[in-house]
Amino acid sequence: MAGFGDIIKLMSHAKELQESAAKLKEELPNMEFSSSTANGGIQVTVGGDFMVRRIEIAPEMLGDRDFLEKELTEALNSAFTSARSAMQEKMKSVTSSLGIDLPAF
């Protein structure tokens, strides 16, 4: 449980936190995270805004629909995980520089 001193400290850094968060919000849509399947047949790129930017499928992957769907799902989930981790790290660096320890989202 945070003490009164922690609350005062948080309030005193609110403006700096707000500016850092606004900057991060502007940067995130421009960030890209790519992932590919183990066999390299599918590569996906997602943005920091969690929008799919690009999907590349090797021609040899087009023959087996079930396999293609499984591999595509794997690549997308991996790219989204990378994007989420990067956002958490950026938020952690913003808040820790201010002496604030916020829970991960």
Are the CB atoms for 104 and 90 separated by under 8 Å?
Answer: no
**Predicted confidence (pLDDT) per residue in 19-76, tens digit:** 777 887 788 778 888 888 888 888 988 888 888 888 898 888 888 888 888 888 888 8
Please determine, for residue 2, whether its predicted confidence score (pLDDT) is greater than 70.
no
Q: How many residues does the chain have?
A: 105
Domains of the chain plus CATH, in order, are 33-97 (3.30.1310.10)
Rg (alpha carbons) of the chain, rounded to whole number: 19
Mean local confidence (pLDDT), 4-28 = 75
Q: What is the pLDDT of residue 63?
A: 87
Helix axes 65-97, 14-27, angle to 10 degrees: 150
